[in-house]
A and B are shown apart, each in its own frame.
Chain A
Amino acid sequence: MWPRPSLRRCLISLACAAVAVAFVGGGTGAAARPACAEAVLHDWARGALGSGYAPECYEAAIDELPEDLRAYTSAADDITRAAISAGRHANSMRQLADVPVQDDPSAFPTEVVFLVGLLLLTAAAGLASALVRGGREE
C-alpha cells in the first residue's frame, strides 16, 4: 500500500533533503580537495610546507603533482614526510583527547580537602571529649 499523502509528502521531503545534503556535501569535498592540494604545493614551492593540513590534502597534492615535479624534485618525498608528520600530530591530538579531562590543575584536590576536614573534625571531637572529661573531674 502506498503511504498516505501527508506521510508520502513528508517522506519525499526527507528524501529530497537527504539528496540535497549528499549533493552539497559531495560538492564541497570535490571543490575543497584541489584547493587545499594546491595550497600544499605552493607551500612546498616556498620551502614552507608544514603539517597543518588534513591528510587528504597531502594525498591530493601528491596525486596531482605535475610530471616535472614528480620526476625531478623532492616534492613527492617532502609532501609524504609532511603527511606522515601531520598524521602523527593528529594521532597525538587524538590520544590527548582520549585522556580523561582533568579539573583545573591549580585548584586544591578535593580528596585532600576531605581528609583535612576529617582530621580537623577528629581533632575537634577529641578536644571536646577532653574538655568534657576535665569538667567532670573538677
Chain B
Amino acid sequence: MSVALRAFVTVVALACASLALTAAGSGASTASREVAFGVADDAWLTHGPGTLESRLNELSKLGVEVVRYTVRWDQVAPRRPQDARDPSDEAYDWAETDGVFRGLRRHGIDPVVTLFGTPSWANGGRGPNWVPSSSRSFASFAYAAGRRYPWIRYWTIWNEPNRPTFLRPTTPKAYVSTLLNPAYAELHSAIGRVQVGGGVTAPRAGDGGGVAPVAWIRGMSSAHAKLDAYAHHPYPGSPGSETPWGPKCVNCQTITMADLERLEREVRRAFGHKPIWLTEYGYQTNPPDMLLGVTPEQQATYVATSALRVYRSSSVAMLIYFMIRDDRAPAGWQSGLFTADGIVKPAYAAFRSPLVQVARAGGRVALWGQIRPRSGRQPFRVRLEEDDGAAWLGSSRWTDKKGFFSITVTAPAGAHLRVWSPRDDAYGHEILVR
C-alpha cells in the first residue's frame, strides 16, 4: 500500500470513529426521552427504619420520580362494605395508604398504585390470590380507590397474574374479565387523566401452572383487554450470566430485560402502540444470595445500564427497581440499594447518578448518564480516578431538562470514571473504561 493511500485510509477511519463518537455523545442538547425511574418496596416504605418522612426524604435524595405501592383490597376492606363504591364506607380502612400517598404527593413523587388481593368475603372464603366471584365487587373497589385518590395518575391491576401464587385460575380470560376490564372502566370513570396498566406479568411461567408472558399477552388480546399501558417485570433469567442487553433468548416465551424487543413486539401486536411500564426489576447481590446474587459492583453496573437500555427504547415509559433495602431472611429478596443492616451498596450511587460507557475510539470515550435528583437542567462534572489522585475531565457541563446527558471525554482504556453532581455534593458509582 502506498504512503498516500495509507494516509487516506487512516483519515477516513479517524473520521468514521469521530462521527460515531459524535453521534454517541451528542445527546445532551437533543429532546429528552420521557422515561421515569422509580422504586418499589412496600415493606420499607410503610414500616422501614426511621419515620415515614425520613424515608420519603431518602427517596427524594435518590431522585425517585415514581413509587410503586400496593393497595391490598383484602386489607382495606376486610369486611363487605355497604356501598362498595363509596370510599367513606365504614368497612374501608385507608389509614395506611392515606399516609403513604399523602407523603409521596408532598414530595412530588408519583405513586403507581397496584390493586391486589381478593377479600375472603368476595370469593367464597378463598385466599387473596383467587379471583372474586363477581367482577362487580372488584370494579366497585377500584372506583372507591379512584375516588379516594383522584390525583393519582398511574394504576396497575393485580400483580403477576400469570403465576398461580398471585392469581387463580391463572388464565388471561379470568384476569381480563373479572379484574382488568371492570377496573379499567371504573378507574376511568372515577379519574379524569388516569392511565391503567394491565398485564403486570412475571418474566416466566415458573412451574405449577403459570403462563409465560408471551402466551399471556396474546391471551389478553384474545380476551379483548382494555389498558392504557402494559406492565411487566423483566427480571433476569440467569443473573450470573445475563446482562440487561443479553444474551437474548431466541424463540422463548419468557421476557427478561435482555429480550425487551420481544415485549415491545408482542405488546404492539396485541394492543397497538401502548407505553410499557417495567414495574419491577432488579439484580440481587451476593453476599448474601449465593445462588441468585451478582457482586454489588455488578448490580450497580446493571442498575445503570438498564437505565440506558430503557432510555433507548421508544416505548418504555417507566422503570421501577425492586427494592430499597434487602430482606434480612436469606430466603427473601436482596436486590436493595441498602443491605439488610442499612449499609449503602454501590447501586445506590448508580441509581442516583447512573453513568455508562457507550463507545470508545482510542482515547475518546462516549458516556451516557443522568443526574436524577430534582427536575430541570443540572450541572455535573466527570472525574478521572487514579491511584495517585484524581483529575476533572473538562469543565462543568449541563444535563438536559430531564437530567440526562451524552458526552465525550478523553480517557484511556482501564481508566476509572465517576460523575459528580455539585448540587448534591455527591458522586455516582465508579465505572471502568473498556
A-to-B contact residues, CB < 8 Å? 41-42, 44-47, 66-76, 78
Contact = CB atoms under 8 A, between A and B. Distances in A.
Nearest to B235: A72
10 contacts: A45-B239, A47-B238, A66-B291, A68-B331, A69-B291, A70-B207, A71-B202, A72-B202, A74-B254, A78-B238
B206 A72 contact: yes
Interface of B: 163, 165, 202-204, 206-207, 210, 235-241, 249, 254, 290-293, 331, 333
Contact of A42 (B207, B239, B249, B290): B290
B165 A71 contact: yes
B329 to A, nearest CB: 11
Contacts of B236: 73
Contacts of A74: 204, 237-238, 249, 254
Contacts of A41: 291
Nearest to B330: A66
A47 B241 contact: yes
A115 to B, nearest CB: 57
A70 B205 CA distance: 9
Contact of B240 (A45, A68, A71, A72): A45
B239 A73 contact: yes
Nearest to B332: A68
Top-8 shortest CB links A-B: A47-B241, A74-B237, A71-B206, A47-B240, A45-B291, A72-B235, A45-B240, A73-B237
Contacts of A73: 204, 235-239, 292
A38 to B, nearest CB: 9
A45 B249 CA distance: 17
Contacts of A47: 238, 240-241
Nearest to B237: A74
A71 B236 CA distance: 11
Contact of A68 (B210, B238, B333): B333
A46 B333 CA distance: 19
A22 B42 CA distance: 53
A41 B293 CA distance: 12
A72 B322 CA distance: 13
B18 to A, nearest CB: 37
Contacts of A66: 291, 331
Contacts of A75: 238
A44 B292 CA distance: 9
A73 B291 CA distance: 11
A70 B201 CA distance: 16
A121 to B, nearest CB: 67
Nearest to B280: A72
A72 B165 CA distance: 12
Contact of B292 (A45, A76, A78): A45
Contacts of A70: 206-207
B205 to A, nearest CB: 9
Contacts of B210: 71
A91 to B, nearest CB: 26
Contacts of A68: 292, 331, 333
Contacts of B333: 68
Contacts of B202: 71-72
Contacts of A44: 238, 240, 291
B238 A69 contact: no
A72 B204 contact: yes
A40 to B, nearest CB: 11
A69 B333 CA distance: 11
Contacts of B291: 41-42, 44-45, 66, 69
